[in-house]
Structure 1
């Protein structure tokens, strides 16, 4: 058979053993490091999560990378993520350097076109988000916030908002 489809039963056995060992090691490392390691609260967290997945794939699939070296790389990335999270909690300046702030895109039914441009969001994308929400239209929208993880939060104009959506997002209510 072709090497692209099947190499040998020993190769399959090696893969099962490596995948099992890597899985156990990764679970242990992640349990030690805490829940924050795999969060995707912002772009920085997503990049780390993708890098961790790539490192795990290399540990399992690459014949040229020993398992211990790949797991060392994985543990290093987890450690760096922990350090960045720790520094972000203790230093506002550091947090501002590695984290983005939420961005207000709609305020009281008014589309903030400058904010759309700064965040590289088209009006069509914004309208899709609004239509998919309970607000259904900009005039029924108290706020649309582009969150730090790239998701959108839509606050419908129902009279119940007392400004907490703005305050919690760190946005000025005008």
Structure 2
């Protein structure tokens, strides 16, 4: 139960390969589906949940191996967050950027299709912002956290 059944190097390599493969897979999830959680945090939660289930159900070879894997996954999550915070190149690769959905009162349909946002969803967000006519919108963007931000055109001052 507490014995390590595989070499530590194998445990390290397996956890690292799975983590890197899942980072790639998490990057293809649309922003709107991810919500307010970063891809790295989502990945850590997915892996830890699966490992926890495996350990609880007795699928792991030992408790120590399960704890080592959990520690390794949390460690990789921390390392990637730290490197990403200091590397503009890695930020461009790993972090989502905002996507413009409306520009100067016009829907950017190509971006809406890519981000799986319908005109009805976008209009609902505009109504919540008090906008009933898309021509009054300077810009609406799908942010990296999945929220849609709206900038309304300034009204000309009446004299």
Provide the TM-score with structure 2 as the length reference: 0.60
- Aligned residue in 1 for 2:57: 62
Change (3 A) 1:85 1:62: same
1:85 maps to 2:81: yes
Divergent runs of 4+, >6 A = none
Report the number of matched residues.
119
1:106 maps to 2:102: yes
- Aligned residue in 2 for 1:119: 115
Give the C-alpha shift of residue 152 in structure 1.
2.1
Contact 1:135 1:154 in 2 (8 A): no
1:75 maps to 2:65: no
Provide the TM-score with structure 1 as the length reference: 0.56
Q: Which has the higher contact order (CA 8 A, sep 6+)?
A: 2
- The root-mean-square deviation of aligned C-alpha atoms, in Å, is 2.6
Equivalent-residue separation in structure 2 for 1:127 and 1:116 (angstroms): 12
1:151 counterpart (114, 135, 147): 147
Secondary structure of the residue aligned to 1:150 is coil
- Aligned residue in 2 for 1:131: 127
Give the C-alpha shift of residue 62 in structure 1.
1.4
Equivalent-residue separation in structure 2 for 1:137 and 1:55 (angstroms): 50
Structure 2: runs of 5+ lacking an equivalent: 1-35
1:95 counterpart (80, 91, 96): 91
Equivalent-residue separation in structure 1 for 2:150 and 2:73 (angstroms): 34
